[in-house]
Amino acid sequence: MTEQHLPEPPGWALKLLHWYCKPRYLEAIEGDLYELFDLRCQSAGEKVARRGFAWDVVRFFRWKYIKGIENSNRLNQFAMWKNYFKISLRSLWRQKFYSAINIAGLSVGIACCLLIIIYIKHDLSYDRFWKDGDRIYRIAINDRGPYTPTRLGSFLKSDYPEVESYTRLNGLYDFSFAIGDNVFSEPGGSLADSTVFEVFDVKFIEGTPQGALSEPNTVVLTKSVADKYFPHETAVGKIIKSSGDAVKITAVVEDPPANSHMPFKYLVAMPHEYWATTGWWTGNNFFTYVKLAEGASEEAFEAKILDFMRKHMAKDLMETYHYDNFDDYLASDDSYRFTLVPIQEIHLNYPRLTLAESAGDMDNVYIFSAVAFFILLIACINFINLSTARSGSRSKEVGIRKVLGSVRGELIRQFMVESFLISIFSLGLAILLSLVALPYFNDLSGKQFQSTDLITVDNMLWLTLLLTAVGIIAGSYPALYLSSFKPVAALKGELKSGKSGSFLRKALVSFQFAISIFLVIATVIVYQQINHMTNQKLGFNVSNTMVIKAGSALKDSGPFFRSKLLENPNIGGVAASTTYPSQFVGDWGYSTVGDVKDNYSLYTMFADSYYLETMGVELAQGRFFSRELASDTASIVLNEAAVRELGWDDPIGQRLERTEGVFTVIGVVKDFNFSSLKRKIGSLAIRYDAEIHKTKWGSAYYLARVKGSYQETVNSIGELWGTIAPEEPFDYDFVDQAFAKLYESEAKFGKIFTVFSALAILIACLGLFAMAAYTLEKRFKEIAIRKVLGASVFSITTLVLSDFTKLILFGSIIAVPLAFYVMDQWLQEFAYRMELGIVVFLIPVLAVTLLAWLTVIYQSFKTATGNPVYALKQE
Amino acid sequence: MQRINLGEFEELVLLIAAVLHDNAYGISVLQEIEAQTGRQINISAVHSALDRLEQKGYLKSYLGGATNERGGRRKRLFSVTASGAKALSDVKEMRNTLYDQIPKVTLKLNFV
């Protein structure tokens, strides 16, 4: 026979087998496979045999035949690691008390951190979900507010190719719907151009974006609203009545996510065609959004808007503000520019632009990040302190290990494993804790986080990184320090107390207390400031003023409604106005009358003649509007702040001018807070409108002074409303509650801050508790000898306490100046600030000291009262 | 009677190993099973069963001599231990006892 090709099994399969198979079984398996291969070669040919061989190799990949770690070449290493774990677990178990405190502190710290991280991440995630969200911009007028001219968007799109699409929104309003005989008032309605879906990729459930809002009297509902009113049927195509118009539902879309700055619940088509085609360039009524084309530069486009203004708006602007030359106007204080605001920044950086109820705050993001960091730091310090302190008592173990042949690297690994085990236990516990705490945290923060927000790949990755860092930092000191011991010295007990670490420990404890004291001071100041604001005198009757909204629905029955209200014995007075304190007031431009026209911008509201007496606002000069004088529509009443701004010594009789006429000042009211106390009282102009219910200047509100029971009054007014304006739901508010709402975000901030500060202090005390226990354990004999020599329980207790007190005082020396500086900065944003007295600093220091004493005193007392015999008879 | 811990396939493999007497190893067992029962089995299953039986003490194994076949690899030969033999006879006995107790009627109805 000649030399011929011998069939061979596939090499890779053999390699694979060699790689995974336990050496014990390898030979027999390989032999059998070869034999099978040969058999198959004869019966079915080489190809089939090779395939069969490979398949069999794969089939042998069973648990039983796979090499275990013990089969690896680095056998000894593995055994050592196993040993490290075993010893670590034993030593953790032996020191139950300290391990428990370490793990408890660290896990509470990590849980806090985790919750704060999801809070911050939520705040940072606003409007990130829109497709092309990074190209969508809101156009804002610098420092004049969120509204922009009617035709801005459409003209920009036709003038500049980089504008891919634009849309206008307006709202959010409460619209009322009538479905059958039932009338509902539904908040969260926004007027929108039909182009809204070109800018925002709203997901359609039923219907299509094309033509969804292109005609007046059409509405697009979100799923939640559609399900609410049409639970078991399709909403599309249904007709609902809204303020007398028949409105058709053209589509149902998904609800915008919670992290949207425009949480609309339904979109209503723009009601009039002319809203899109006409409009003054100086009248700002809409929110304009543009989506820039891909690659278009924001800065370059922003710069072009100035040319745009010159081209389209110059005429209107010069007329309104009385300039002959547009460049003069641009150079003046009256001028404004359009700026592009990326929508993704609105939530955190532009609270005035958001449509959502509460805006985020970049400062809060920073503050909470700092708090999370501090809490974790305190927990880590505990960890480091305890492990360094305890390390002293393990010097003998280190000595023995070294004698038995451990090299330094192995000892380092041993202590690192211990430190990592604690981190890992803490992580597990922390995740459990944060899951348990989640509902409470939701209450606190007013957000709706799910457990799925908590346990995400991202978060876990973060935490693992964090824990690795903590493990290394906390483990490195004992690992490096202990492993450097000379075995003889260690065994002789010369290194027993771990002295060289004691300075570090003291410094770290002081630092912990510095953080705690800082946090308490901050909490106290935040609360005092909120109290300070809510207790501020507002300059009018806050407590019993009821607001009845949607007054324009009364139409001609306004006066009748008013007279009916006054018949109610519970009502002391009724006024009507276009706004009510705590709400938004528009600022309007006025100019002085004369040769030189000065321009001013005044917050302007309209009121009837009863406003002053009903609201309890005091008159400083002149008179208020009179219902006998129809000419009072050409009169104007200013507040003192406005008079100061206008610089008039004798304001009565002076005149102000606007496009719609000339107004004579007839009176001046004392300053009262018509908006938030975060701002100073602005310059206010009140104008007369005897028939607010028919006003064309804004919404109409009736303000009623309530004398009797609130509930009774609300009920009776509700009934009255139902008979006069049945197609409009009765909606009301109380001024004091509306004001409280303005500080809701501060109150929420205060609450979250308090909880986390309390936890920080708790963790610090936990550490102190363990440190005290350890110190006393070390000084057990010393104290016993002191007692034998006649020291009293009191003197011993104070001896121990004074050691810790020094640390706290040292901490407060760092904390107080820092707190003063930081909180002073924080207070700067409030127009009405509390005084930073000595008390707000002293009380937290004392409180923390007291708390620390309470932590330590039990143990020191126990040690001090113990019988010295037990301490001394050892050995 | 003590409980005998034998699965169906294990019992089959143990029986075949006993039948093959001196020449029971992976391939021979596999081929014998195929020949006797017509069942198609993967070689890894046979190995796994043989190892399990060895663990239970019903089989013992030793490495045979090297040959030129099988790429020069030695065979791992199995032989039935005393407890293996006892297990087989116990199982058989129990089967027989139970089978004898079946009323004749049932058998007729079902099998005839």
Size of interface A-B (CB pairs under 8 A): 61
Of the two residues A413 and A555, the one the predictor is more confident about is A413
ipTM of the complex: 0.85
Element (H, E) at A589: strand A587-592
Q: Which of A36, A38, A64 sits opposite B43 (nearest CB)?
A: A36
Q: Is the bond leading into B63 cis (omega within 30 degrees of zero)?
A: no
Whether the pLDDT of residue A552 is over 60: the answer is yes
Whether the pLDDT of residue B77 is over 70: the answer is yes
Q: Which tokens go with A761?
A: 């202090």
Residue A337: pLDDT band with limits 50, 70, 90: confident
User: Which residues from B are below 8 Å from A when comparing CB atoms?
Assistant: 25-27, 30, 42-45, 47-48, 51, 63, 69-71, 73-76
From chain A, the residues in CB contact with B63 under 8 A are 27-28
Element (H, E) at A635: strand A635-639
pLDDT (0 to 100) of residue A495? 54
Q: Give CA separation, A874 vs A80, A781, A793, A870, in Å.
A: 35, 10, 22, 7
Chain A nearest-CA residue for B26: A32
Of the two residues A389 and A750, the one the predictor is more confident about is A750
pLDDT (0 to 100) of residue A824? 87
How far apart CA A264 and CA A266 sit, in angstroms, is 6
From chain A, the residues in CB contact with B44 under 8 A are 56, 59-60, 62
Our CA-based measurement puts residue A394 at a distance from the nearest CA of chain B, in whole angstroms, of 45
Q: B70 vs A32: CB contact, 8 Å cut-off?
A: yes
Residue A334: pLDDT band with limits 50, 70, 90: low
How far apart CA A662 and CA A654 sit, in angstroms, is 10
How far apart CA A65 and CA A28 sit, in angstroms, is 12
pLDDT (0 to 100) of residue A2? 45
**Cβ–Cβ contact A793 with B under 8 A:** no
Whether the pLDDT of residue A1 is over 50: the answer is no
Of the two residues A334 and A661, the one the predictor is more confident about is A661
Q: B75 vs A25: CB contact, 8 Å cut-off?
A: no
Q: B73 vs A59: CB contact, 8 Å cut-off?
A: no
Whether the pLDDT of residue B36 is over 80: the answer is yes
Residue B96: pLDDT band with limits 50, 70, 90: very high
Q: At what angle do helices A23-44 and B43-56 cross, to 10 degrees?
A: 140
Angle B65-B68-B74 from CA coordinates, rounded to 5°: 35
Q: B51 vs A56: CB contact, 8 Å cut-off?
A: no
Interacting residues of A533 by C-beta distance below 8 A, sequence separation 6+? A677, A678, A743, A746, A830, A832
How far apart CA A668 and CA A736 sit, in angstroms, is 25
For the ranges A643-647, A811-815, B15-19, the lowest mean pLDDT is seen at A643-647
3-class SS of residue A561: helix
Element (H, E) at A575: strand A571-577
How far apart CA A584 and CA A679 sit, in angstroms, is 13
Q: For A695-750, give the DSSP string.
A: -SSS--EEEEEE-S-HHHHHHHHHHHHHHH-TTS---EEEHHHHHHHHTHHHHHHH
Whether the pLDDT of residue B111 is over 70: the answer is no
Q: Which of A25, A34, A59 sits opposite B70 (nearest CB)?
A: A34
Q: Which residue, among B43, B54, B68, would best test binding to A if mutated, counting the most A CBs under 10 Å from its CB? A: B43
How far apart CA A372 and CA A362 sit, in angstroms, is 15
Our CA-based measurement puts residue A69 at a distance from the nearest CA of chain B, in whole angstroms, of 21
Cα pseudo-dihedral A347, A349, A353, A355, rounded to 10: 20
Whether the pLDDT of residue A74 is over 60: the answer is no
Residue B109: pLDDT band with limits 50, 70, 90: low
Written as one letter, the residue type at A467 is: L
Residue A432: pLDDT band with limits 50, 70, 90: very high
How far apart CA B44 and CA A57 sit, in angstroms, is 8
Residue position matching structure tokens 């321009």: A599
Q: B73 vs A30: CB contact, 8 Å cut-off?
A: yes
Whether the pLDDT of residue A858 is over 70: the answer is yes
Nearest residue to A671 via CA among A618, A716, A742: A618
pLDDT (0 to 100) of residue A602? 77
How far apart CA A584 and CA A352 sit, in angstroms, is 11
Interacting residues of A610 by C-beta distance below 8 A, sequence separation 6+? A573, A574, A575, A576
pLDDT (0 to 100) of residue A71? 57
Residue A697: pLDDT band with limits 50, 70, 90: low
pLDDT (0 to 100) of residue A433? 92
Q: Does residue A625 contact residue A614 with C-beta atoms inside 8 Å?
A: no
Dump pLDDT digits (tens) for A107-146. 988 888 888 888 888 888 888 888 888 889 888 887 556 7
Residue range B19-48: mean pLDDT, rounded: 89
Most confident of A99-108, A173-182, A634-643: A99-108
pLDDT (0 to 100) of residue A72? 57
Residue range A220-226: mean pLDDT, rounded: 89
In whole numbers, what is the pLDDT of chain A averaged over residues? 81
Chain A nearest-CA residue for B49: A64
* Dihedral sign for Cα atoms in the order A769, A774, A776, A780: positive
3-class SS of residue A684: strand
3-class SS of residue A623: coil
Residue range A513-520: mean pLDDT, rounded: 88
Whether the pLDDT of residue A258 is over 60: the answer is yes
Residue A173: pLDDT band with limits 50, 70, 90: confident
State the first-to-last Cα distance of chain B, in angstroms, to the nearest integer. 33
Residue B110: pLDDT band with limits 50, 70, 90: low
Q: Please give the DSSP secondary-structure letter assigned to residue B21.
A: G
The pTM assigned to this predicted structure is 0.68
Q: A31 vs B48: CB contact, 8 Å cut-off?
A: no
Whether the pLDDT of residue A875 is over 60: the answer is no
Of the two residues A551 and A819, the one the predictor is more confident about is A819
Beta bridge partners of A587: A603
How far apart CA B10 and CA B102 sit, in angstroms, is 26
Residue range A277-284: mean pLDDT, rounded: 71
How far apart CA A541 and CA A476 sit, in angstroms, is 64
Q: Give CA separation, A97 vs A90, A92, A774, B45, in Å.
A: 13, 9, 10, 52
pLDDT (0 to 100) of residue B107? 64
Whether the pLDDT of residue B18 is over 80: the answer is yes
3-class SS of residue A5: coil
How far apart CA A819 and CA A821 sit, in angstroms, is 5
Whether the pLDDT of residue A439 is over 80: the answer is yes
Residue range A475-500: mean pLDDT, rounded: 71
Dump pLDDT digits (tens) for A759-798. 888 888 888 888 888 888 777 788 888 888 888 888 888 8
Q: Does residue A59 contact residue B44 with C-beta atoms inside 8 Å?
A: yes
